[in-house]
């Protein structure tokens, strides 16, 4: 029976690392294959559940994050000392608010990250989540940057760590070049990741390099028509260029692809406002030399 259980785990590894895909068919990125390939437990059932959680986490939708939370919690129930399953929980809870969930998930993310570090101080990913939460939610920029640096000290080749670091640096005035360096490093480590490719465009947008952002994200959108985040990136970049009608169309495409009512409602409100006098005023200002 034990051999049979490990055979099932081996099949889970194969499925998770090679065929666990985003909704558009993208396979797991390099960092996520590495995360899935680490065992971290002697309990084969816990490991199989962890692998399922990792594969759902990689899909990057709210529903999939919530499914991943369920699998990570089941893994912890099988092995309460499973540090990597706690790290997986932190990954999910830290990102859920960006996908429409409540910010009440942030304390859960912090608790899971700290528990993971308590169980295994060598893990880098919990420090990534603490860094992001410190910077984005607590406005503790020095503390957040220290956590990112700690994560990269523990694992310099974690593309997700470089990606998250870049996404936080881009929000800080005067750190655009640092953000570009980090997102380019992430892309170098994992050139096949669609989320990293789109974030290259987002970092360009925050650096006010709108044409470069549009070029990057349009390429992703053309090659992966159902990948919603590419359209979100284009919406931001077109807005920065004051190409408001293009931005609205991309926002509508984003809402249609995510299936989230809040995204569709936002796009509809944006379009309604643009058609009003305020929208005409914006267009008039944008057309002036």
Q: pLDDT per residue over 71-121, tens digit each?
A: 999 999 999 999 999 999 999 999 999 888 888 999 999 999 999 999 999
pLDDT tens figures, 141-167: 999 999 999 999 999 999 999 999 999
pTM of the model: 0.81
Name the H helices within the chain: 2-14, 30-37, 44-57, 62-78, 83-95, 105-119, 125-136, 141-154, 159-169, 176-189, 194-206, 210-223, 228-240, 244-258, 261-275, 277-287
Residues 47, 41: contact at Cβ < 8 Å? yes
Cα separation, 31 vs 186, in Å, equals 10
Q: pLDDT class for 30, splitting at 50, 70, 90?
A: low
Residues 134, 144: contact at Cβ < 8 Å? yes
Q: Higher model confidence: residue 61 or residue 96? A: 96
Does the domain made of 208-282 have the CATH classification 1.25.40?
yes
Q: In the beta sheet, which residues pair with residue 27?
A: 21
The CATH number of domain 124-200, selected from 1.10.3720.10, 1.25.40.10, 3.40.50.2000, 1.10.10.10? 1.25.40.10
**Rg over CA atoms, the chain:** 20
Whose CA is closest to 82, among 91, 72, 90, 92? 72
pLDDT tens figures, 192-206: 999 999 999 999 999
Region of 100 (left: φ > 0; alpha: ψ -120 to 50; beta: rest) is: left
Q: pLDDT class for 3, splitting at 50, 70, 90?
A: very low
Q: Where are the domains of the chain?
A: 26-115, 124-200, 208-282
Cα separation, 248 vs 251, in Å, equals 5
Q: pLDDT class for 251, splitting at 50, 70, 90?
A: very high
Residue 21 sits at φ, ψ, to 5 deg, of -120, 160
């Amino acid at each position: 029976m034990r051999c049979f259980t490990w055979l099932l785990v081996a099949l889970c590894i194969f499925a998770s690392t090679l065929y666990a895909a985003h909704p558009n068919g993208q396979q797991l990125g390099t960092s996520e294959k590495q995360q899935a390939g680490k065992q971290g437990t002697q309990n084969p059932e816990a490991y199989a559940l962890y692998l399922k959680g990792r594969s759902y986490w990689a899909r990057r939708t709210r529903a999939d994050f919530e499914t991943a939370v369920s699998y990570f919690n089941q893994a912890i129930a099988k092995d309460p000392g499973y540090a990597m399953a706690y790290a997986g929980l932190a990954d999910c809870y830290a990102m859920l608010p960006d996908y429409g969930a409540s910010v009440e998930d942030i304390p859960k993310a912090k608790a899971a990250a700290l528990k993971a570090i308590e169980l295994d101080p060598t893990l880098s990913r919990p420090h990534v989540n603490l860094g992001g939460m410190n910077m984005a939610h607590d406005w503790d920029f020095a503390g957040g940057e220290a956590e990112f640096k700690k994560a990269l000290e523990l694992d310099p080749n974690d593309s997700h760590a470089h990606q998250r670091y870049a996404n936080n640096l881009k929000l800080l005035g005067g750190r655009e070049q640092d953000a570009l360096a980090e997102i380019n490093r992430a892309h170098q480590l994992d050139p096949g990741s669609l989320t990293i490719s789109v974030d290259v465009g987002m970092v360009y947008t925050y650096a006010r390099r709108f044409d470069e952002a549009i070029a990057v994200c349009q390429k992703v959108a053309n090659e992966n028509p159902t990948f919603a985040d590419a359209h979100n990136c284009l919406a931001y970049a077109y807005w920065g260029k004051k190409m408001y009608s293009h931005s609205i169309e991309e926002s509508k495409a984003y809402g249609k692809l995510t299936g989230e009512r809040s995204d569709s409602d936002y796009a509809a409100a944006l379009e309604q406002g643009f058609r009003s006098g305020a929208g005409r005023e914006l267009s008039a200002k944008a057309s002036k030399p």
